[in-house]
Structure 1
Amino acid sequence: MRPWFIVRKLRPVLYIMAGLWLISSVQQVSDIESKGFLRGRLFGHRVMRALKEVPLEPISYRREFMRNYPLQVDLLPYVLDKIKNGTDIPFKKRYHHNYTYIHKPDSCKFYSQKGAKLAILVKSAAQNWYRRHTVRTTWAKIHPGIIKVVFLVAYNKSVQGMVDYEADFYKDIVQENFQDAYFNNTLKTVMAFNWAMESCSDANYFLFVDDDHFVNVPGLVQFIKSLSRETKENLFLGFLISCGEPERAKTSKWYISLERYPFDLWPPYLAGGAFVTSFSVTQKMQMAFPYVKPIGIDDAYLGMVAKKLSIRPMDSVHFHTTGPYASYEYFIHGKLKSNKTGETPHDVLSLPKTECV
C-alpha cells in the first residue's frame, strides 16, 4: 500500500484532530485573557513563563482601598460599640496573633498621678543588648514615677540565653516566640499593642520608639501636656508620610509585591522610628488588628489600620529626625552626629498640604 493512499484515508481523522486542537487553543487564549493563566499544557512552558513575566497593574488606592482591603466593612462603629458596651464584633477574626510570651514584665505601676503617665515601648533586635543597656543607663532613668520603659524583643536562638538573663535581671523584656527578623516587625508591633492593653492600661499615652533613638523624656512629656484636649484624645502623632508609594524593586529592603499589596499608594502613616498614641487610639487599633490583613512593613500597616478606623495620623516637626525640618529636640536618631542648625517651623503640629485620602 502506497503512503499517499494511507494519508488520503486518514485525512478526515487529521481534520478532526486539527479542529479539536484549534478549539482547545481558542479556549486557552480565553482563559489567559480572563484569568491570567493556562489550564492545559498545549502552549508549553515557554508561554507559561512569558505570562508570569507580564507585570500586573496596581489598583487605585483612592478609589478602592476602603472597599477592597480586608475586611470590607466599616470597623469603627463596631470597635466603638465594643469599647462602650462590651458588644462582640460580629465578624470572624481572620488574622490571629497566635504566639505566646516567653518573657512578660509585671504590670505597669505609676507612682505619680501628676501629668501624663507614659509607657515607652522600645523596639529592639534580640542581639542589641548594648543598645538596651545604653537606654537603661541614660534617658530611661528620667521621671521613674510617670514613665514605664520596656523592650520589645522576638526570638533568636543564638542569643536567647543572653535575653533570658536580661529579662530575669531587669524585668523589662516583652518577648514572644516568633522569629526575630525585619519582616516580623509587624508581629512585634502587634505584640506591643497587645501587651500595652493587657498590662499597661493605666497609661495615658504610649511612645513606640526604636532602640537607636535618644529620647528627651522631659521635653516629650511637656509637649504632650501642651496639646489640646481633643488632640490628646485622638493622638497618633509622629513623622507623617502623607502620600507614600510602595517599593516595588525586589532588591529593596522595603519591597512589597503587588500580590501582597495591590494598591498604588499607602494610606497616610507615621515613620516607625518614633510615634506616640493616646490610650484611646491604642485601644481601638489593638481591637482592629484581627480584622485587617497584615503586611511585613509595620509602620505602613498601622497606617492601614488607622485608615480603617478613621484615625488621622498627625505630623509634628518635633518627631522629624531627617529632612529639612528635623530639629532633634525630642528625638535624636543614633546615626546622626550633630543637631540641625537653622530655623525650625513654629508650628507644633504641621499637617501636610497634600494627603492621600
Structure 2
Amino acid sequence: MPKNCKCAKPLGIKVRCWWLLLILFFLMGLAIFIFYSLDQQASWPMNPWRIRSLSNQSYIDVTTSVDSYFVEYPHPYQFLMDEPNRCQEESPFLVLIIPVEPHNQEARNIIRNTWGKETMVLGHVVSHYFLLGLSTEGYGTKAFQEELLLESQRHHDILQSNFVDSYKNLTIKTMVMFEWLSTHCSNTSYAMKIDSDIFLNVQKLVDLLLKAPRQHYMTGHVVRDALVLRNHDSKWFMPVSVFPDSRYPPYVLGLGYVFSLDLPRKILGASSHIRAVYIEDVYVGLCMKHEGIEVTDPPDGGLFQAGMPFYRNGCYWTSVITTILKNSKQLVDIWGLYETQTQSGC
C-alpha cells in the first residue's frame, strides 16, 4: 500500500468534520437572523417596511375619522325643559350648573341634599341647575320623559336640551350652558360649571368670589403647557390634522370652574371662529385665547383639587373648594365630614 494512503482516511474524516461544522454554524446563524428579523419587525421603529405600514395607517386614521374629533356646534339646540324666569327673578350672586346624565336621578338627589341646599351663603343667593341632554341608554322613552318632567316640576332645577347626552358631546353641553346663562341670568355675577361627582365647599367658593374680579375672570384647577396627546389609545387623543400645535393653551379643568358672567357671550362669540373639538375644557380654553382673555390662577393652588390627596388633615374639607370623588354616592359621607368639621370650628 502506498505511504500516502495512510493519511487518506484521517484527512477525509477531517474534511467532513469541517464541512459539518460549517453547515452547523450556517444553520445557527440563519436561525439567529430569522429570529432577530422577526423581533425587529415587532419592535424596531426604523424597519422601513414597518415605517411604511405605520405611516399608511396613520394617514387612514386621520382622513377617515377626522370629523369624529369635532362636535356639531354652533347649532340651534332647543330646550325641552327649562326654568325661563327663575334666574332673573332670584338674581343670584352665583349660579351652579351641574351637567349630569338624564337617568342619574340619584346623583341629582344627593346634590340637592348636600351642597345644592346651600342657597344663602355669606348673605348672597346661590342657585343650582342640572343640565341634561337626551339619553341614549334606553331612557329616551315617553314614560321616562314624563318621569323627568315630574322631577322638574317638583324641584324646578332641570334644564334639558335636545342634543344627545354623551361624553363626546360634552362640548355641546358646555356651550349650551353658556347660551342659557347669557340669556337668562343678566343680574348674576358668577356661575360655575361643576360635575356631579365633585365635593363643593360653597362657603369657601363664595368667600373667594367676594374678592374676585367681576369681569374676564375664570378660575379653577388651571392647566398650563399641557401636551397634546398623540397616542391613539388615549381617551383624549388629538390628531395633528385637527390640532397641529404640540401644546394646548392654558385652560381650566372641566371638573369644576367658576367664571364671571361677562364671559359666556365672549366664549359664544369665539365659537363662531373656532371649530368645536370634543375635549370641552380645552375648547373653552381655545375660545378664551381667541378673545385674548387669560385664565386666572386661584390664590391658593390647593383650593381646587383634581383628586383626593392620600393625606388629609382634620380640617381638609373646610379648607378646599372642590375635590373630585369616586362617585356621587361618596358625597353623602364626605358631606357629613364637612359639616362636622364646620361645627368643630375648622
TM-score by length of 2: 0.65
- Taking the aligned partners of 1:253 and 1:146, their CA distance within structure 2 comes to 38
2:210 aligned with 1:225: yes
- Taking the aligned partners of 1:172 and 1:143, their CA distance within structure 2 comes to 13
Equivalent position of 1:314 in the other structure:
296
- Aligned 8 A contact 2:116 2:128 in 1: yes
Deviation at 1:246, TM superposition (A): 1.9
Larger Cα-atom Rg:
2
Q: Deviations over 1:205-255 (max 9, x none)?
A: 01110011121112211111123xxx3322111101101112222222212
SS at match of 2:179: helix
Q: Cα gap change, 1:260/1:273 in structure 2, threshold over 3 Å: closer, same or farther?
A: same
Q: Cα gap change, 1:142/1:55 in structure 2, threshold over 3 Å: closer, same or farther?
A: same
Q: Which amino acid aligns with 1:216?
A: N
- Taking the aligned partners of 2:88 and 2:207, their CA distance within structure 1 comes to 17
Deviation at 1:110, TM superposition (A): 6.9
Equivalent position of 2:134 in the other structure:
155
Q: Which amino acid aligns with 1:103?
A: M
Deviation at 1:331, TM superposition (A): 1.5
Equivalent position of 1:332 in the other structure:
323
Q: Cα gap change, 1:126/1:111 in structure 2, threshold over 3 Å: closer, same or farther?
A: closer
- Taking the aligned partners of 1:105 and 1:309, their CA distance within structure 2 comes to 30
Equivalent position of 2:188 in the other structure:
203
SS at match of 2:258: strand
- Taking the aligned partners of 2:297 and 2:115, their CA distance within structure 1 comes to 24
Deviation at 1:299, TM superposition (A): 0.3
2:56 aligned with 1:52: yes
SS at match of 1:149: strand
2:111 aligned with 1:132: no
* Counterpart pick for 1:301 among 283, 286, 300: 283
Equivalent position of 2:254 in the other structure:
272
Q: Cα gap change, 1:257/1:127 in structure 2, threshold over 3 Å: closer, same or farther?
A: farther
* Counterpart pick for 1:101 among 49, 74, 79: 79
Q: Which amino acid aligns with 2:128?
A: V
- Taking the aligned partners of 2:241 and 2:103, their CA distance within structure 1 comes to 32
- Aligned 8 A contact 1:186 1:298 in 2: yes
* Counterpart pick for 2:118 among 112, 117, 142: 142
2:170 aligned with 1:194: no
Deviation at 1:257, TM superposition (A): 2.1
Structure 2 unaligned spans of 5+: 1-51, 61-71, 338-346
- Taking the aligned partners of 2:107 and 2:78, their CA distance within structure 1 comes to 25
- Taking the aligned partners of 2:171 and 2:54, their CA distance within structure 1 comes to 34
Deviation at 1:287, TM superposition (A): 2.5
Q: Which amino acid aligns with 2:131?
A: L
- Aligned 8 A contact 2:179 2:264 in 1: no
SS at match of 1:314: coil
Q: Which amino acid aligns with 1:268?
A: P
2:153 aligned with 1:168: yes
- Taking the aligned partners of 1:50 and 1:255, their CA distance within structure 2 comes to 17
Equivalent position of 1:281 in the other structure:
263
**More helix by percentage:** 2
Deviation at 1:142, TM superposition (A): 1.2
- Taking the aligned partners of 1:170 and 1:106, their CA distance within structure 2 comes to 14
- Taking the aligned partners of 2:156 and 2:254, their CA distance within structure 1 comes to 25
Q: Which amino acid aligns with 1:330?
A: I
Q: Which amino acid aligns with 2:151?
A: E
Equivalent position of 2:93 in the other structure:
117
- Aligned 8 A contact 2:305 2:324 in 1: no
Deviation at 1:54, TM superposition (A): 5.6
SS at match of 1:211: coil
**Percent of aligned pairs with the same residue?**
24
Q: Which amino acid aligns with 2:270?
A: A
Q: Which amino acid aligns with 1:99?
A: Y
Q: Cα gap change, 1:148/1:257 in structure 2, threshold over 3 Å: closer, same or farther?
A: same
Deviation at 1:285, TM superposition (A): 1.3
Q: Cα gap change, 1:54/1:287 in structure 2, threshold over 3 Å: closer, same or farther?
A: closer
Q: Cα gap change, 1:216/1:276 in structure 2, threshold over 3 Å: closer, same or farther?
A: same
Q: Cα gap change, 1:220/1:180 in structure 2, threshold over 3 Å: closer, same or farther?
A: same
- Aligned 8 A contact 1:186 1:297 in 2: yes
- Taking the aligned partners of 2:116 and 2:279, their CA distance within structure 1 comes to 27
- Aligned 8 A contact 2:73 2:172 in 1: no
Q: Which amino acid aligns with 1:153?
A: L
Equivalent residue pairs, number: 252
SS at match of 1:232: coil
Cα RMSD of the aligned pairs, angstroms, is 3.0
- Aligned 8 A contact 1:111 1:146 in 2: no
Structure 1 unaligned spans of 5+: 1-47, 57-93, 340-357
Q: Which amino acid aligns with 1:118?
A: L
